[in-house]
């Protein structure tokens, strides 16, 4: 399967702990996006990368959130000092520059903060 993959699929953590999620995009895609989706809402944009450069960050991305894409391939999203409000589905998508940004989504990582 050459689609977007995300790990882990589920993460349960205690408030105050740090968590890290990984996203592996479709191999030839140079753009990678992170979104957050809460129950009953559409996904909200967090940040995106073109190759290894982080080009845009949402104001939703507080100082506790950091994303990296060190070699322009996989990406990680880290949340430090988790809060109950961070509980959500975290979605990753990738696209190929020049294809009108058709984004292909992974299955998501569901985070539950107790």
The residue among 17 and 51 lying less far from other proteins, judged by its C-beta, is 51
Shortest separation between residue 45's beta carbon and other proteins, angstroms: 5
Token pair for residue 52?
Answer: 């290894």
What SS3 class is residue 85?
helix
Shortest spacing between CB 56 and other proteins, in angstroms: 5
Question: To the nearest whole angstrom, how small is the minimum distance from the Cβ of residue 105 to other proteins?
Answer: 4
As separate numbers, helices (DSSP H) first and strands (DSSP E) second, the chain gives: 0, 11
Q: Which is nearer to other proteins, 17 or 62 (CB)?
A: 62
Q: Cα separation of 43 and 30, whole Å?
A: 21
Q: How far is the CB of 10 from other proteins (least distance, A)?
A: 11
Which is closer to other proteins, CB of 37 or CB of 80?
37
Residue labelled with tokens 């984004």: 103
Tell me how far apart the alpha carbons of residues 8 and 31 are, in angstroms, rounded to a whole number.
21
Closest CB to other proteins among residues 27, 100: 100
Interacting residues with other proteins (CB under 8 A) = 4, 31, 33, 35, 40-45, 48, 55-56, 58, 91, 93, 95, 97, 100-108
CA–CA gap between residue 52 and residue 114 (Å, rounded): 33
């Amino acid at each position: 399967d050459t689609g977007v993959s995300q790990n882990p699929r589920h993460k349960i953590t205690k408030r105050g702990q740090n968590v890290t999620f990984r996203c592996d995009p479709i191999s030839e895609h140079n753009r990678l996006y992170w979104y957050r989706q809460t129950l009953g809402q559409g996904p909200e944009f967090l940040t995106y990368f073109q190759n290894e450069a982080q080009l845009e960050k949402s104001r939703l991305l507080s100082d506790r959130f950091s994303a990296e894409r060190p070699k322009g391939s996989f990406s990680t999203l880290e949340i430090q000092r988790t809060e109950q409000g961070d509980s959500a589905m975290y979605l990753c998508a990738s696209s190929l520059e020049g294809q009108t940004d058709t984004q292909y989504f992974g299955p998501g990582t569901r985070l539950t903060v107790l």
